[in-house]
Structure 1
Amino acid sequence: MKLAVIGTGYVGLVSGVCFSDLGHEVICVDKAAEKIERLKRGEVPIYEPGLKALIDKNTAEDRLQFTTDLAYAVKQADIIWLAVGTPSLPNGEADLSYIMEAAKEVALSISQDTILVVKSTVPVGTNEKLENLIRSHTGHTVAMASVPEFLREGSAIKDTMNPDRIVIGTRSPYAQMKLVELHEPLTSNIIVTDVRSAEMIKYASNAFLATKISFINEIANICEKVGADVTMVAEGMGQDRRIGSSFLKAGIGYGGSCFPKDTQALIQIAGHVDYDFKLLKSVVDVNHDQRYNVIRKLEAILGDLHGKSIAIWGLSFKPETDDVRDTPAYEIIVSLLERGAMVRAYDPVAADNFRRSFSALDVQYCPTAAEAAVQADALCILTEWDEFQRITLNDIQSWLKSPNLIDGRNIFSEEQVTGTEFAYYSVGRPNMNKGVKEQIPLLSL
């Protein structure tokens, strides 16, 4: 098939590249001329393992193109994909201005009957608004469909090529047939729904996963009070097939471009129909407060943080990505600076993005993990990069001024910590806490 993908962010770029690798002819479109020129040169504007190799392969085999000319791409396409951003507005609602603008441009460029697929995450009812907009700007028949994405940054190619399921929401038999045909090589688990249900499936899925994360973090906080080990609790819970083991890893909370945005958007969607989504509001509150446990634990170890040198390992919201959107590291660093601490930070991939995104922060960025840690009063691990897990505690201790370690992602085991001199705090594992014995208050700052 011939596909036009409008938008070259994570979703659009990965989806378009993977479709080209399946043998389809794909044109990826973006208004950002600099980004398109970089892609034409084989430069990838995002960090995603394996993506550059697929781009190089499929551009060389003439199945993948990049352009700023939306009209050109639309006229070539059997199926048009909208994958533009829907960021949060200040009130938490999804900003639909970009996707509405893109849909209008598509409508003005259509020269034949076509299928338009909304890949972007949009509130329930958005596809109908887009359809009405498009109809007002073209005389051609446009079959609408919602095919939400379920990609994880860092494993986006794997998730695209081996999805748990594909959801297709449409009332057009023709669009259903073509989209099932397109996705059948990926999985036989294809769920066909009405459009509004497909839109809601995306939000409900992300909200439920965010709920699991906040739940296990609440359990971790209780474990610290009662002397239980959250890793063992999570393992025991996860063996129940009704619960499952995924998203039960305690830490400093979720971040990124999806969970924070989608939970807030779903709260707003509920509010527009006079429903108070109390559970999801609590999920958001718990996630926000969880980040500050790092500060509370530092203060329990060091007391007043003014003038203290704090090393930060990890600036991206998760490993294998350079994405720093709503990363817990931001609020933690801001809190440290507000308390007069000096911050030295390192991330294997995301440091440049973090520096550009938060240029006002007075942070010293270091080229290596060791340089960030040298002569620091404490080290905080905020992202579970493999690189950090390969460093020995003996090495870390030799770099630090004092052996104080806040392991916000539980990357070290009890066996590794035993025998060291660290004042060590992880999340929900009080039996591993060394150095400071008093209870740490779990109160909002």
Structure 2
Amino acid sequence: MKISVIGTGYVGLVTGTCLAETGNDVLCIDIDEKKVNKMMKGEVPIYEPHLDVLFHRNIKANRLNFSTSLEEGLEHGDIIFLALPTPEDEDGSADLSYVLGCASHIGKLLKNYKVIVDKSTVPVGTSKKVAQAIANQTDVEFDVVSNPEFLREGFAVDDFLKPERIVIGSSSEKAIELMEKLYKPFVRSGNPVIIMDEKSAELTKYAANSFLATKITFMNEIANFCEKVGADVDKVRAGMGTDSRIGKRFLFPGIGYGGSCFPKDVKALYKSGKDSGYEFDILNAVIKVNDIQKKILIPRIEAYFNNNLKGKTFAIWGLAFKPETDDIREAPALYIIDELLKKEANIKVFDPEAMENVKHKYKNQLIYTKNMYEASKNADALIICTEWSLFRTPDFEKLRSNLNKPIIFDGRNLYDLEDIQKEGFYYSSIGRKTIEP
């Protein structure tokens, strides 16, 4: 099939590359000429495990191509995916200007029947708005489908190639038939293709992300309470996770959720509720608790250093909002960095993939290091913000030698309490007792 993908961010590029992998002829469109030129030369603009292999293979096979021309994209594709940004607006709602602006341009260029697919995460009712924006510019037949993505950064390629489910929101039999044909190679193992109306499909994505964000936030509240009463959140988590009604995933406490999806989607669903006269009290609480959780290590650090962080040097391991990505959007590490900078502390940072993105944001305000041990050298304490695998089994003897004092504030609970006590560290984590040497 001939497919065009408008937008080459995380969702658009993964979508285009994975659709090319199953033999489709894919043209990816982006207005960023510099980015498009790089991709045409074989440069992958984002870090996502396994994406580079598929990207290069499909470019070589001429199944994956790039352009800055929306007109070319409309001429090429029978199915047109919109994978455009829907950033958070000032009031918490999703900004649909990119999506609706593109829809209007599509209407002006449309010459024959196309299926226009909303792949971006959008509020309930967006499909109708997209259809209206197109219809205002043309009398040519088209259909708009809501097909939300369920891709986890760090696992996006696997999630696309082996989806747990595919949601197609449409009232058009013609569009549904084309979408089912497109996705047939991805559900050969029997995972469901769920057909529903457009509004239900749009809400499904928001509901799923908001539920997971709520689950994380609830566990963080339990962790904070554990510290108050002397319980151990690891044991509580194990006891909860073995209940099949709850499950083991998303029960790990930490310094809050971040990224491009959870923070934005929870706020957008909350705002959609308000606009419709419904108050999502639980989502309001999730937003408030997560904002507090991102900075929860700061009071502990201040207390340890007698409320004087000026001139102190802190090593930070992990800058991305989660492992296996270079994405720093809403990353808890950034909130900690901002607070430490306000208190005139010095900060040495290391992340396996996100360093360049952080450099763009902070410039020369931070000290950028080549590896985790260089970051820890002559630091007054280590702060762990992202649970990258390489941080899980460090050389504790080398780390202890590098640090001015053996002090760790761990926002991701990477280490066993008994093990860290034997290593002689002061160790403060989330929902567990503080270890003192």
The TM-score normalised by the length of structure 2 is 0.97
1:150 is aligned to 150
Measured after TM superposition, the shift of residue 416 of structure 1 is: 2.5
Verify the 8 A CA contact 1:393 1:416 in the aligned structure 2: no
Q: How does 1:119-130 map to 2 (within 5 A)?
A: 119-130=119-130
Runs of 4+ in structure 1 deviating by more than 4 angstroms, as ranges, are: none
Q: Which letter maps to 1:434? A: I
Q: Which letter maps to 1:310? A: F
Measured after TM superposition, the shift of residue 371 of structure 1 is: 1.4
Is 1:334 paired with 2:311? Answer: no
1:222 is aligned to 225
1:428 is aligned to 431
Q: Which letter maps to 1:45? A: P
Is 1:364 paired with 2:335? Answer: no
Measured after TM superposition, the shift of residue 392 of structure 1 is: 2.3
Q: Which letter maps to 2:359? A: R
Q: How does 1:205-354 map to 2 (within 5 A)?
A: 205-303=208-306, 304-354=308-358
2:381 is aligned to 378
1:50 is aligned to 50
CA offset digits 1:113-163 (Å, max 9, x no partner): 111111011111111011011111122111111000010111100110111
1:441 is aligned to none
Segments of structure 2 that go 5 or more residues without pairing to the other structure are none
Measured after TM superposition, the shift of residue 333 of structure 1 is: 0.9
Alpha-carbon separation, structure 1, partners of 2:12 and 2:143? 20
* Bigger shift: residues 415-424 or 237-246: 415-424
Alpha-carbon separation, structure 2, partners of 1:87 and 1:245? 31
CA offset digits 1:45-84 (Å, max 9, x no partner): 1111111111110111111111111111211211111111
Q: Which letter maps to 2:384? A: I
Verify the 8 A CA contact 1:301 1:404 in the aligned structure 2: no
Verify the 8 A CA contact 1:381 1:408 in the aligned structure 2: yes
Measured after TM superposition, the shift of residue 224 of structure 1 is: 1.1
% identical equivalent positions = 45
Q: Aligned match of 2:195 in 188, 192, 210?
A: 192
Q: Counterpart of 1:372 in 2: which secondary structure?
A: helix
1:9 is aligned to 9
1:160 is aligned to 160
Give the superposed CA RMSD: 1.2
Q: Counterpart of 1:358 in 2: which secondary structure?
A: helix
Alpha-carbon separation, structure 1, partners of 2:241 and 2:111? 52
2:131 is aligned to 131
CA offset digits 1:241-260 (Å, max 9, x no partner): 11111111101000010001
Alpha-carbon separation, structure 1, partners of 2:52 and 2:265? 28
Measured after TM superposition, the shift of residue 164 of structure 1 is: 1.1
* Bigger shift: residues 216-225 or 292-301: 292-301
Verify the 8 A CA contact 1:301 1:423 in the aligned structure 2: no
1:418 is aligned to 421
Q: Counterpart of 1:418 in 2: which secondary structure?
A: helix
Q: Counterpart of 1:311 in 2: which secondary structure?
A: strand
Verify the 8 A CA contact 2:86 2:96 in the aligned structure 1: yes
Q: Which letter maps to 1:181? A: K
Alpha-carbon separation, structure 1, partners of 2:213 and 2:417? 28
Measured after TM superposition, the shift of residue 299 of structure 1 is: 2.1
Verify the 8 A CA contact 2:295 2:332 in the aligned structure 1: no
1:94 is aligned to 94
Is 1:37 paired with 2:37? Answer: yes
Q: Which letter maps to 1:13? A: L
Alpha-carbon separation, structure 2, partners of 1:319 and 1:167? 27
Is 1:62 paired with 2:62? Answer: yes
Verify the 8 A CA contact 2:104 2:136 in the aligned structure 1: no
Alpha-carbon separation, structure 2, partners of 1:357 and 1:258? 20
Q: Which letter maps to 1:416? A: D
Q: Which letter maps to 2:326? A: D
CA offset digits 1:413-437 (Å, max 9, x no partner): 124213122110111121xx2229x
Q: How does 1:161-180 map to 2 (within 5 A)?
A: 161-180=161-180
* Bigger shift: residues 226-235 or 190-199: 226-235
* Bigger shift: residues 348-357 or 180-189: 180-189
CA offset digits 1:331-351 (Å, max 9, x no partner): 111111112211111111101
Q: Counterpart of 2:26 in 1: which secondary structure?
A: strand
CA offset digits 1:7-44 (Å, max 9, x no partner): 00000100110000011110000000011111111111
Q: Counterpart of 1:138 in 2: which secondary structure?
A: coil
Measured after TM superposition, the shift of residue 219 of structure 1 is: 0.4
Alpha-carbon separation, structure 1, partners of 2:264 and 2:294? 17
Is 1:204 paired with 2:173? Answer: no
Alpha-carbon separation, structure 2, partners of 1:404 and 1:418? 11
Alpha-carbon separation, structure 1, partners of 2:175 and 2:243? 39
Q: Counterpart of 1:260 in 2: which secondary structure?
A: helix
1:439 is aligned to none
Verify the 8 A CA contact 2:425 2:435 in the aligned structure 1: yes
Alpha-carbon separation, structure 2, partners of 1:271 and 1:357? 33
Is 1:404 paired with 2:407? Answer: yes
The TM-score normalised by the length of structure 1 is 0.95
Alpha-carbon separation, structure 1, partners of 2:311 and 2:362? 22
Verify the 8 A CA contact 1:309 1:341 in the aligned structure 2: yes
